[in-house]
Structure 1
Amino acid sequence: MNKTLRNILIVIGVLILLIAPVISSYNSMVALDQKVKTAESNIDSDLQRRSDLIPNLVETVKGFAKQEQEVLADVTNARAKLGGANTINERANADSELSGALSRLLVVVESYPELKSNENFRSLMVQLEGTENRINISRKDYNAAVAEYNSKIVKFPNSIVASIFRFEEKEYYKATEGAKEVPKVDFNTGK
């Protein structure tokens, strides 16, 4: 009986030694997955903040630049696309399109000195600039979390646990091809 009890305890001890690293590895992957999801949510939150500022900006510019309806429509349409984006790549593409439309809007603003001196416009621009900085930081935080997560799930022996529990690599937040080009600014609009 003592020998049987000892053998059972040895088997239990060996099982614990084998299972403990798997549990630890699984839990660390879950924690990193949650870190990625939190970082992605932070990007969404910052993008939403920018989207919330845009209608006020468009309305302020609209009062001064009635003939610039096409640019204002581009900003509004790009904002709508961002709101409808579901995946990280769709958000990155829509974000890039919105950034381009906002850049074109700011070029238009240069033609209206009275608009640039408007207190409401200046306040919106300060808020928008701060939000753009937040978005940039959130993108970097997201990509850092993805790098840590992806690195964890491909290293041995974690890769075995990751494949068993179906942890898959996450996509990085990437700029679209057009975002790498410097925007063209033309102040010779004939106004």
Structure 2
Amino acid sequence: MDVKIIAGVIGTMVFLLYVVYIYNKLVRLRYAVRNCWSDIDVHLKKRYELLPNLIEAVKGYATHEQETFMKVTELRSACMSAETPAEKAKAENMLMQTLKSLFALAEAYPALKADIHYKEIMSNMKEIDDNIEHSRRFYNAAVRDYNIATAVFPTNIVASSFSFKTEEFFSLENEAEERKPVKANFT
């Protein structure tokens, strides 16, 4: 056999193996993104299931706030029907703004704040919010890794050939509030 033919066959096989390796790497990264999104979705659903209990607890003390209760219910439905991370984030941000007004309303009722059922709901909400934040960080890290892999050469050639699209990050507005520096005056 001719050396050029053997070299060509070996070169083609190495190239094909490399393409398969890159393809499998992209598939693994995409599944990591989907798995992380699934974790966020589970925690969000737990929060959505808890919201009617929160409304009922507050409603017992502030029956005249029907507009706020309806808004929370509508936004809960919007969050549940949102499909993409960007849609979910937008709906979640609106829901969180409305929940802030509901929490402020609860502050006006000391008996409500002392209610054991309300305290339990708020404790569960805090735990769920912490889980969402934790899962969001893992999701965004997985998205970052996947998006970088689809953008760098030579992986981007394989990614575009097999229709691997970039994924959306999941960011909530309260992230910026959490990172505000503490202002202290030591003079």
TM-score normalised to structure 2 length: 0.87
Pairing of 1:68-107 with structure 2 (within 5 A) = 68-107=65-104
Letter in 1 for 2:21: S
Residues in 1 aligned to 2:172 and 2:128: alpha-carbon distance in whole angstroms: 18
- Give the superposition deviation at 1:28: 0.3
1:65 to 62, 66, 69: 62
- Give the superposition deviation at 1:14: 2.5
Match for residue 185 of structure 2? none
Q: Give CA-to-partner distance per residue, 1:83-127, whole Å, 9 cap, x none.
A: 111221111111111111111100000111111111111000000
Match for residue 29 of structure 1? 26
Match for residue 116 of structure 2? 119
Partner SS, residue 34 of structure 1: helix
Letter in 2 for 1:36: V
Q: Give CA-to-partner distance per residue, 1:37-73, whole Å, 9 cap, x none.
A: 1111111111101000001111111111111211111
Match for residue 170 of structure 1? 167
Please list every run of 5 or more consecutive structure 1 residues that lacks an aligned counterpart in the other structure.
183-191
Pairing of 1:50-61 with structure 2 (within 5 A) = 50-61=47-58
CA distance 1:45–1:121, change in 2 (3 Å):
same
Partner SS, residue 169 of structure 2: coil
Letter in 2 for 1:25: I
Residue 12 of structure 2 is aligned to residue 20 of structure 1:
no
Structure ID, larger Rg:
1
Letter in 2 for 1:80: S
Match for residue 151 of structure 2? 154
Partner SS, residue 172 of structure 1: coil
Letter in 2 for 1:161: V
Residues in 1 aligned to 2:35 and 2:7: alpha-carbon distance in whole angstroms: 42
1:40 to 25, 37, 55: 37
Query: CA-atom RMSD, angstroms?
Result: 2.1
Is the contact between residue 96 and residue 179 of structure 1 (CA under 8 Å) also seen in structure 2? no
Match for residue 140 of structure 1? 137
Residues in 1 aligned to 2:171 and 2:131: alpha-carbon distance in whole angstroms: 16
Name segments (4+ residues, structure 1) moved above 3 Å.
6-12, 178-182
Residues in 1 aligned to 2:20 and 2:146: alpha-carbon distance in whole angstroms: 17
Please list every run of 5 or more consecutive structure 2 residues that lacks an aligned counterpart in the other structure.
179-187
Residues in 2 aligned to 1:168 and 1:77: alpha-carbon distance in whole angstroms: 32
